């Protein structure tokens, strides 16, 4: 299958997650956030981006020696990983992407352009800030520093997923903003294909990538669709099967499975009863993101080379949330700061970056979820 075909397919597909889709998740906005405003639209866009990334991963799954896949997984895991992404993308597991000549099967294109979301997404609710329906005893909280987002199950329906998107997640742009930066951001690191480095990093991550991370934690989405899900993914102490975040011993290499640097290192761990690679969410996320950007940017990205590759995005996008700082400038000096874009967000949800009187420096952070 040619990548051009995939890109065309991608561009021709209708937007997933539109409110008209009966399987659309619910979007929950706290008081003070306009449901039709910019921040609400960013949340909806993040969900669409998560689906697009998963769809791209599903459609470009290459059974013949894919170096990106083998960076994050073992070749024998290809079918399982493919089924996970097809489930998110709502592509039937039992149809071939390619026709007999190795081209894109026209039936696939017709099907994907007409199909909506996986119906299970009707049991998902995504909120800005802590989800109001979560149990206060869940142990997760947007007020905890560094929390980008987290998923818990509903109090009323243990199958239903509740995702809370916390303030730091807005540091991440949309796929579109990374690919086609707004005016003034073209030369900033992390904006445009030429500024994504030559290796996997969190500069590849849009807000929808964080949301994709949380979707991958939602075991109910997969357990009835992905064959052998409950064999590959062990039972958790919470009594369900879901893909987790690897946590290693202190000082271990790696000590966690978070981020583009740690995730490939899990392949080096000694084999256990369950494969660590298929049991760590960011192996899926960064495999998918590396594939996505390799196609959009028509170049390959190498493996991450340093732990700091997981923290490059921290101040790249949301620096506009800082209160205005006096800029020492001489007359005629060109403005070096990118223009402010979305001050509305920090005004409504400050506290982490900005508490209305004091700017709080951005800290290093990791993914958090269940
Ligand atoms: Zn996680």
| 360 is a domain residue | no
CA dist 83 to 38, 55, 200, Å?
A: 34, 11, 23
Range of the domain at 141: 3-349
| 296 is a domain residue | yes
- In the three-class reduction of DSSP (H, G, I as helix; E, B as strand; rest coil), residue 355 is classed as coil
| 364 is a domain residue | no
| 104 is a domain residue | yes
246 CA from centroid of ligand 1 (Å): 9
Q: 127 — phi, psi (to 5°)?
A: -120, 155
Structural domain count, the chain: 1
| 359 is a domain residue | no
Which of 366, 349, 113, 147 has the alpha carbon at shortest distance from 260? Answer: 366
Per-residue pLDDT of the chain in tens (370 residues, 90 and over written 9): 455 555 545 544 544 445 578 899 999 998 888 899 888 899 999 999 999 999 999 988 887 889 999 999 999 999 999 999 999 999 989 877 777 676 767 777 677 667 789 999 999 999 998 999 988 777 788 888 778 899 998 888 889 999 999 888 888 999 999 999 988 888 889 999 999 999 999 999 999 999 999 999 999 999 999 999 999 999 988 889 999 999 998 889 999 999 999 999 999 999 989 999 999 999 999 999 999 999 999 999 999 999 999 998 865 464 323 223 334 444 554 445 554 443 322 222 222 222 222 223 333 223 333 3
| 254 is a domain residue | yes
CA dist 313 to 34, 144, 178, 196, 259, Å?
A: 27, 19, 11, 10, 12
257 CA from centroid of ligand 1 (Å): 9
237 CA from centroid of ligand 1 (Å): 16
368 CA from centroid of ligand 1 (Å): 5
304 CA from centroid of ligand 1 (Å): 19
59 CA from centroid of ligand 1 (Å): 24
| 49 is a domain residue | yes
120 CA from centroid of ligand 1 (Å): 20
| 225 is a domain residue | yes
213 CA from centroid of ligand 1 (Å): 6
212 CA from centroid of ligand 1 (Å): 10
35 CA from centroid of ligand 1 (Å): 27
The pTM of the full predicted model, rounded to 2 decimals, is 0.83
CATH code, domain with 48: 3.40.390.10
């Amino acid at each position: 299958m040619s990548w051009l075909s995939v890109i065309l397919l991608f561009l021709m597909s209708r937007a997933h997650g539109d409110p008209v889709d009966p399987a659309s998740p619910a979007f929950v906005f706290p008081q003070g956030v306009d449901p039709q405003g910019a921040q609400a639209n960013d949340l909806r866009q993040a969900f669409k981006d998560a689906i697009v990334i998963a769809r791209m991963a599903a459609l470009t799954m290459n059974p013949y020696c894919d170096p990106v896949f083998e960076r994050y997984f073992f070749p024998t895991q290809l079918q399982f990983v493919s089924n996970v992404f097809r489930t998110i993308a709502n592509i039937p597991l039992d149809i071939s992407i390619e026709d007999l000549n190795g081209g894109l099967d026209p039936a696939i294109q017709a099907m994907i352009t007409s199909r909506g979301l996986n119906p299970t997404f009707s049991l998902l609710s995504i909120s800005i800030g802590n989800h109001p329906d979560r149990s206060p005893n869940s142990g997760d909280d947007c007020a905890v520093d560094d929390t980008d987002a987290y998923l818990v199950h509903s109090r009323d329906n243990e199958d239903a997923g509740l995702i809370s998107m916390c303030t730091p997640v807005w540091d991440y742009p949309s796929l579109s903003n990374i690919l086609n930066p707004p005016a003034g951001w073209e030369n900033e690191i992390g904006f445009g294909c030429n500024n994504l480095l030559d290796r996997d990093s969190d500069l590849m991550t849009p807000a929808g990538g964080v949301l994709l991370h949380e979707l991958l934690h939602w075991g109910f989405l997969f357990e009835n669709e992905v064959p052998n899900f409950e064999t590959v993914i062990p039972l958790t102490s919470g009594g369900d099967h879901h893909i987790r975040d690897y946590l290693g011993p202190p000082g271990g290499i790696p000590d966690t499975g978070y981020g583009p640097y740690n995730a490939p290192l899990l392949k080096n761990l000694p084999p256990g009863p369950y494969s660590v690679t298929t049991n760590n969410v960011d192996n899926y996320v960064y495999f998918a993101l590396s594939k996505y950007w390799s196609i959009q940017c028509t170049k390959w990205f190498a493996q991450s080379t340093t732990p700091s590759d997981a923290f490059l995005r921290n101040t790249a996008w949301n620096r506009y949330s800082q209160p205005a700082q006096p800029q020492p400038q001489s007359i005629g000096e060109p403005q070096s700061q990118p223009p402010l874009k979305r001050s509305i967000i920090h005004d409504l949800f400050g506290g982490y970056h900005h508490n209305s009187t004091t700017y709080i420096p951005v800290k290093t952070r990791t993914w958090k979820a269940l």
